[in-house]
Structure 1
């Protein structure tokens, strides 16, 4: 089969990121080169592949996409886990109340196990299908085939399960539960609509205290082994100014004064306790905190989804949300950029009651 690893870049007229190219190779290895029931799509000549062949490949892969349950490992004392399962109020850290221990023993010292659904692979299948379709499009462009056999309706856009939305009080509790150096990161993730990689790539020079604006110019790369520390945002619309409330900007400045030792404009705003970048995989602090609060289902990205949903409740329309979150194709981005910047600030201010509530409750937790 004709496989062009640069198919995406040729169609998009811009170079692929190293992470995108690596993802294409992974998709090709796991899905396109996969042998199933003596059938392998990539062993066929590209000129011989028909719509029926693509449908067969897709149906075979789809049949193997099954969700599985796996146990959630926790360091919490089993008495705490039992109490939480019984609806008994208890802190998930600190000294355990002796009465709670006795109640747990009297109940037979049960060992409560929690489970979560692991991914079925259906999202990755959609990504593989899009990649395959791009390869065929490049083959058409090169005059090798006349039409694209990828014609399965809806195969490129899988239905995602509804992501959870948490309350302002839960955002505050989460901000109080994580180490203090990450508290404002949690609140910003919820109320700025920025991607986690954009937040983790913020530097001093991106914070405009006077205008109450955060400038997004790039995002932190995924891994320490990557060639560059920063990469461009996912889309052209990702380069943007994000207004935040006065109260949230004040809290961010306090964070900088307390935790950002390096005075240079290039200093990262959010780092580990040893001043290292928060690359992908360095969020064990978030996992620990969410489990202590019984929010095992929550992903860090769900904070962004929560903020967008709360802004919608306050009257933000689709264009407002797309502009604020930097979600747009290159063509769509130009349309959204015609939107009023004043309206963008109104969206930020509309979140003020939620932000103030979360900051207030967080400070109560922190000072308790």
Structure 2
């Protein structure tokens, strides 16, 4: 048996002691470029592989049993089945699997749902997109799985030193994750840029709130899915939808179906909606996006302002809502948005 206490004492100058336990009991474990040396049931020594002399790192590799790799494959498969929606797995089982794989909860993670617009080559594009994402995602142990023929889910662990200039010290997991949230969202945006350029398709993403505990992963996956669904409908001009920044989309997406149906029957019944041409519907959205300014809206639509005024009058005649007034205009906007989502 390995004398972990003695081993940790030798390696202490190269790392930091943190709360946690080793997924493989008495065995040191390498994960995401870091060595985890178990001290007891409560503490581990975390050592960055890059900080170790090469000969010491080579010796540590000899301590890792071969069965650990086979066991990790089993647990990874379980997480992939859950991530792709093929298997319902509760939080404690996911937490156990990730800990067995060497994931450290203190580092935090995000769940990301990426969707490709439905097209003729959507299945081929999805396969290609997964391969591109494997090259783009810098997190070493990121898990990627597909669901259906147009969605990809990613479980992306944060790097152990994220959110800190040197060591994370005593920061809480949520504090660390929030510190890097903006940077991570920019990274996701970069993934979508590359996917769109390489595959000539439109991609959108929903990003969960930072994962605080592995047991909360089922909720995090639902958050990513909710952010994608709500953002696609109510914030359609954006591509990356953050669960923590959905605004009104959070409220509208949560409306019961019966409430939506009653609202639409009152404000925009079928016969009225069918009377609004695509041109008139887009005029409503453009008019509100430009602060109900006639000149700015006309320029954005490449039409004369007199043409725009005619359209606005026509919209008011058909809907009995004066879109030049704020409240009626936003009421019609919501009704049109709900209609578009159905």
Using structure 2 for the length normalisation, give the TM-score.
0.23
Q: Which has the higher helix share?
A: 2
Q: Which structure ranks higher in relative contact order (CA pairs < 8 Å, sequence separation ≥ 6)?
A: 1
Q: Which has the higher strand share?
A: 2
